């Protein structure tokens, strides 16, 4: 069974990217309206409001062409709203007023917009094919009742050739009949000319289902496919429950939703800078719940402040600018031995930094004289990675050093990752 929270299926293709107002045929407007109704049935009325708002209300209405403005009117206000007798200015004002009125509801349902910004493939195909057929002089005009129980479809051909072949309808969940231009039955395939063929489809009756002790009327899902020699198109109708999702179930779901969210105080680290993290394209962002963790003052009455007593968000900028540590090694090396062999698998991708300290090192005299001598030690890593740890002794009497005497050193190695541009955000509500 399907309801607002349990619907699943093949949802594809962003509507805003598909809708090309320049090529759209007015007789196909009913499919747009029907697609929006499918969102209301499958998701919610709020989801439909959100998709209308984010598709059109963040645009400069004055810069839209007449066709684009008409497309927005059809999607927002319904069939027949694409222009009418209103002046251009009145049309812009009406759209602007709708956007202002529905702004808060749309923004608060940003997640619903993310889930519902795609159309079920049947509705998309129907709209596309309706316009494609129109460009081939095949005019298909669907009329769908508001309750989606009755569908009438007119089909006529206005092309230069003699006719176009019509192969009839395929339907699921509907019972359909065809009427020819002379109000009589059709023999399929039928040659459609410049006179209308009418299809009348009636949805199958609702069945009665029990759910948690409550009775519901459930309309089955349905499809209507119009088949011509050119190309078919399909109308889709989702399963509908009346009444909708039960009140008690809805309340239970609402109570569970906060439990599925991240806890207050959760820190996240992301590559998105603030202007992109707060973008409408990021459906998980909610400005009342997440803020930048850069030490800024908390907004008034945040749950984070009530829990912690803190007045400011934690400042994670030092962490963001620090180097990452992949691995640490400590080894012993004799003079001349290389540190490269100490590199580990865990730290092989990092940049290694080395520190050497003496472990066992002695000077070496020129001779056995003991007067006025001084030791000279060298401890370092050369450009090849070899450890140099050696000592010699200077004899003041003879003014000469003894030869270098190799020793041993302790070596500390750190594998560091370079700084990356990341940003921290904290959940406060």
**Per-residue pLDDT tens over the stretch 100-150:** 888 887 776 665 555 555 544 555 567 777 878 888 888 888 888 888 899
Residues 289 and 188 in one domain: no
pLDDT, residue 331, reads: 92
List the structure tokens of 341: 């062999």
Does residue 426 lie in a domain region? Answer: no
Residues 331 and 218 in one domain: no
Domain that holds residue 277: 257-320
Give residue 88's pLDDT band: very low, low, confident or very high (50, 70, 90). Answer: confident
Helix (H, G, I), strand (E, B) or coil at 347: coil
Rounded mean pLDDT, 143-159: 89
Residues 272 and 313 in one domain: yes
Residues 107 and 31 in one domain: yes
Helix (H, G, I), strand (E, B) or coil at 336: coil
Say whether pLDDT at 157 is over 70.
Answer: yes
Q: Please give the Cα distance from 278 to 59 (Å, whole number).
A: 18
Residues 304 and 404 in one domain: no
3-state secondary structure 1-51: CCCCCCCCCCEEEEHHHHCCCCCCCHHHHHHHHHHHHHHHHHCCHHHHHHH
Give residue 329's pLDDT band: very low, low, confident or very high (50, 70, 90). Answer: very high
Rounded mean pLDDT, 305-332: 87
pLDDT, residue 15, reads: 38
Residues 123 and 156 in one domain: yes
Say whether pLDDT at 276 is over 90.
Answer: no
- How would you class 44 by CB atoms within 10 Å of its CB: exposed for 0-12, middle for 13-18, buried for 19 or more? buried
Q: Is there a contact between 74 and 36 (Cβ–Cβ < 8 Å)? A: no
pLDDT, residue 135, reads: 84
Asked which of 48-62, 244-258, 385-399 is least confident by mean pLDDT, the reply is 244-258
Helix (H, G, I), strand (E, B) or coil at 415: strand
The CA dihedral of 386, 345, 326, 380, to the nearest 10 degrees, is: -10
> Which residues fall within 8 angstroms of residue 364, CB to CB, at 6 or more apart?
391, 392, 393, 402, 403, 404, 405
pLDDT, residue 260, reads: 63
Say whether pLDDT at 298 is over 90.
Answer: yes
Residues 266 and 395 in one domain: no
Please report, for the chain, how many H helices and E strands are present, in that order: 11, 23
Rounded mean pLDDT, 210-239: 84
Rounded mean pLDDT, 70-85: 65
Q: Is there a contact between 411 and 256 (Cβ–Cβ < 8 Å)? A: no
Does residue 181 lie in a domain region? Answer: yes
Residue 354 or 111, more confident: 354
- Polymer length in residues for the chain: 429
- The percent of residues above 70 in pLDDT, for the chain, comes to 77
pLDDT, residue 25, reads: 60
Does residue 4 lie in a domain region? Answer: no
Q: Buried b / exposed e across 132-169, counting CB within 10 Å, b at 16+?
A: bbbeeebbbbbebeeebbebebebbbeeeeeebebebb
pLDDT, residue 253, reads: 60
Q: Token pair 């459906």 is at which residue?
A: 283
Q: Please give the Cα distance from 317 to 19 (Å, whole number).
A: 44
Q: Is there a contact between 356 and 411 (Cβ–Cβ < 8 Å)? A: yes
Q: What is the mean pLDDT of the chain?
A: 79
The total of structural domains in the chain comes to 3
Q: Token pair 């000592």 is at which residue?
A: 391
Give residue 1's pLDDT band: very low, low, confident or very high (50, 70, 90). Answer: very low
Does residue 410 lie in a domain region? Answer: yes
Asked which of 32-46, 121-135, 255-269 is least confident by mean pLDDT, the reply is 32-46
């Amino acid at each position: 069974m399907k309801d607002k929270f349990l619907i699943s299926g093949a949802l594809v293709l962003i509507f805003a990217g598909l809708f090309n107002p320049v090529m759209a045929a007015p007789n196909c407007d009913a499919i747009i309206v029907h697609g929006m109704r499918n969102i209301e049935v499958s998701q919610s009325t709020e989801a439909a409001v959100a998709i209308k708002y984010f598709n059109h209300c963040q645009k400069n209405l004055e810069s839209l062409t007449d066709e684009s403005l008409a497309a927005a009117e059809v999607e927002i206000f319904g069939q027949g709203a694409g222009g009418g007798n209103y002046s251009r200015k009145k049309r812009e004002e009406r759209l602007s007023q709708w956007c202002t009125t529905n702004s808060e509801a749309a923004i608060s349902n940003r997640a619903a917009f993310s889930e519902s910004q795609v159309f079920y493939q049947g509705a998309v195909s129907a709209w596309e094919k309706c316009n494609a057929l129109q460009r081939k002089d095949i005019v298909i005009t669907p009329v769908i009742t508001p309750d989606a129980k009755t569908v009438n479809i007119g089909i006529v051909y206005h092309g230069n050739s003699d006719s176009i072949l019509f192969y009839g309808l395929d339907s699921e969940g509907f019972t359909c009949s065809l009427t020819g231009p002379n109000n009589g039955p059709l023999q399929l395939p039928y040659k459609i000319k410049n006179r209308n063929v009418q299809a009348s489809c009636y949805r199958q009756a609702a069945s009665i289902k029990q759910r948690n002790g409550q009775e519901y009327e459930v309309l089955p899902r349905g499809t209507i496919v119009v088949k011509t020699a050119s190309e078919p198109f399909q109308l889709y109708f989702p399963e509908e429950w009346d009444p909708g999702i039960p009140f008690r179930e809805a309340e239970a779901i609402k109570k569970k939703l906060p439990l599925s969210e991240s806890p207050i105080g959760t820190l996240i680290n992301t590559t998105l800078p603030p202007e992109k993290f707060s973008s409408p394209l990021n459906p998980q962002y909610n400005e009342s719940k997440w803020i930048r963790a850069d030490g800024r003052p908390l907004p008034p009455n945040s749950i984070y402040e009530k829990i912690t007593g803190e007045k400011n968000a934690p400042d994670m900028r030092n962490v963001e600018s620090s180097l990452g540590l992949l691995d640490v090694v400590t080894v012993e090396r004799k003079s001349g031995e290389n540190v490269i062999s100490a590199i580990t698998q865990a730290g092989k991708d990092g940049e290694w930094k080395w520190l050497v300290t003496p472990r066992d090192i002695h000077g070496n005299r020129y001779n056995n004289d003991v007067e006025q001598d001084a030791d000279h030690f060298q401890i370092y890593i050369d450009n090849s990675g070899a450890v140099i740890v050696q000592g010699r002794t200077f004899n003041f009497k003879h003014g000469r050093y003894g030869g270098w005497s190799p020793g041993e050193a302790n070596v500390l190695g750190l594998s560091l990752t370079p700084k990356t541009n990341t940003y921290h955000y904290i959940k406060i509500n």
